[in-house]
């Protein structure tokens, strides 16, 4: 009986781990697409793609997830806080909660 429980728990745990990492992977894929579709690359670059004046490579080393989220929801305030002067200034991209989540998850992978 204990053995059966252990086996069941192990199976459930691996199914859970698989589905959460698959979900995170989906968000990364969606986030990667949003960088183009939301026109982030007009002002930012990632690797060889986009505007080199605003590289986002390594952004996860510089900013906490909450700070990235704030840039994507309240860029005016972050601009003041960061004393950023580059123009054109970033505007609120008005993302849906799902898009915001996917972009933050993706940007968090840029270490």
- Residues in contact with ligand HEC by CB under 6 A are 38-40, 42-44, 54, 56, 59, 62-63, 68, 71-72, 79, 82, 84, 86, 88-90, 93, 103, 107
Nearer to ligand HEC, 24 or 38 (CB): 38
Q: Quick one: CA torsion of 34, 88, 84, 66, rounded to 10 degrees?
A: -20
Considering the complex, what minimum distance in angstroms separates the CB of residue 55 from ligand HEC? 8
- Say if CB 60 and CB 107 are below 8 A apart: yes
Q: Indicate the residue among 24 and 79 with the shorter CB distance to ligand HEC.
A: 79
d(CA 83, CA 100): 23
Give the Cα separation of 58 and 55 in Å (integer): 8
**What's the CA gap between 52 and 31, in Å, rounded?**
19
Q: Which is nearer to ligand HEC, 8 or 26 (CB)?
A: 26
Shortest Å distance, C-beta 37 to ligand HEC: 9
Q: How far is the CB of 8 from ligand HEC (least distance, A)?
A: 42
Shorter beta-carbon distance to ligand HEC: residue 63 or 105: 63
Contact 36, 104 (CB under 8 A): no
């Amino acid at each position: 009986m204990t053995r059966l429980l252990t086996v069941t728990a192990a199976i459930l745990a691996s199914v859970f781990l698989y589905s959460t990492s698959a979900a995170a992977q989906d968000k990364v894929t969606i986030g990667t697409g949003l960088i183009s579709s939301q026109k982030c690359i007009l002002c930012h670059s990632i690797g060889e793609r986009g505007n080199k004046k605003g590289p986002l490579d390594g952004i996860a080393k510089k900013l906490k997830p909450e700070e990235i989220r704030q840039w994507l929801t309240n860029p005016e305030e972050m601009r003041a806080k960061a004393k950023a002067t580059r123009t054109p200034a970033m505007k609120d991209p008005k993302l849906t909660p799902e898009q915001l989540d996917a972009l933050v998850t993706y940007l968090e992978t840029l270490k």
